[in-house]
Amino acid sequence: MALWRGKDKNRELERLAAMAGEASAEAAVSLGHAQTTIEDPVAEPDVVPEEPQQVAAELDGPVDLETSEEAAEQGKAAAEAAEKLVLDEPAPPEPLKPDLTAAAFFDVDNTMMMGASMFHFARGLAARKYFTTSDLAGFAWQQVKFRVGGSEGDVGSPREKALSFVAGRSVEELNQLAEEIYDELMADKIWSGTKALAQMHLDKGQRVWLVTATPVELANMIARRLGLTGALGTVAEQHDGVYTGRLVGDLLHGRAKAHAVRALAAKEGLNLKRCTAYSDSLNDVPMLSIVGAAVAINPDTGLRDIARQRHWEIRDWRTGRKAAKIGVPSVLGAGAVAGAVAAGLAYRKR
């Protein structure tokens, strides 16, 4: 009987992961489309210069032919110099040819950004008195049990409360706060090495998406600020532009990321064998395993071992003891990190 219940739970977890992945892909496409169709400001009409008119000048005395000839020579020399400059200018670069079947997928926490994005977001919200201490403590405890206590088979309370702190808040309000908090706490946390890797793919004409458990609106804002294509993230249920506090499916974590990447590839016509994925976490092995090339960035111990076994490329921007201080245990997940840290901040302020 226990074995049967275990299979049922696994099937339910897989269903929720698939639902989360599909919802994230749909949100990524929708947000990306909305971003590219924002109307540009109306440009001022070009001013058409009037036709030059000959102006007859009245001369009080005879024309100085020597001065006129000198001016003509100077004008001719200037015209020749200008023509030479134009000829010497390098030809403009040819427009970048898009590579429509290849793309790159980047995890965010400890891969693109030092620490966890929800950690920084929660800090910003706590500074704005967004939480009560009891709310934060309850949220943190549920997430710690969910991610650390081995209760992933429980598809009830922890998952339902994962984004309860946004319940009743408008999407517009959270988006505005995300922009502010990014400038305050996230912009200087971006790993320059990872950003350069993302730019390398863009320079090849490939699209680049972030893939993270962070709410998709926050993830999309980070992608936009970095000049990337878009983001796959956790989808929070909305009603009339207001968050309900519930998830659509599950957190975009572990196997849900793999579902999201597959769903996006199907929508965008990507060939996953030509795609590359980057992550720091053992939890992202499902996503790293479905693409043609996998790269471990600042890997935790588990991912480093698997990367070596599978001959995946490893890049680490950290050095020595600094690595241990910067790294956030990936098993906690974004929810636990955000809740626990923000709860600690609020507790210290009491």
- Catalytically active residues, by annotation: 107, 109
178: β partners: none
Instruction: Report the distance separating Cα 304 and Cα 311, nearest Å.
Output: 10
Distance CA 312, CA 305 (A): 10
Cβ atoms 339, 143 nearer than 8 A: yes
Coil vs helix vs strand at 173: helix
Give Cα 293 to chain centroid, integer Å.
Answer: 20
Number of other residues whose CB lies within 10 A of the CB of residue 94: 6
Joined together, the tokens standing for residue 328 give: 């956030």
DSSP 8-class letter at 89: S
What is the spatial distance between Cα 21 and Cα 252, in angstroms, rounded to a whole number?
Answer: 7
Contact between residue 228 and residue 210 where contact means Cβ atoms under 8 Å apart: yes
Nearest in space to 340 (alpha carbons), one of 138, 117, 164: 138
Q: Is 314 left (phi over 0), alpha (psi -120 to 50) or beta?
A: beta
CB 318 within 8 A of CB 326: yes
SS3 content of the chain, % helix, strand, coil (to 5): 55, 15, 30
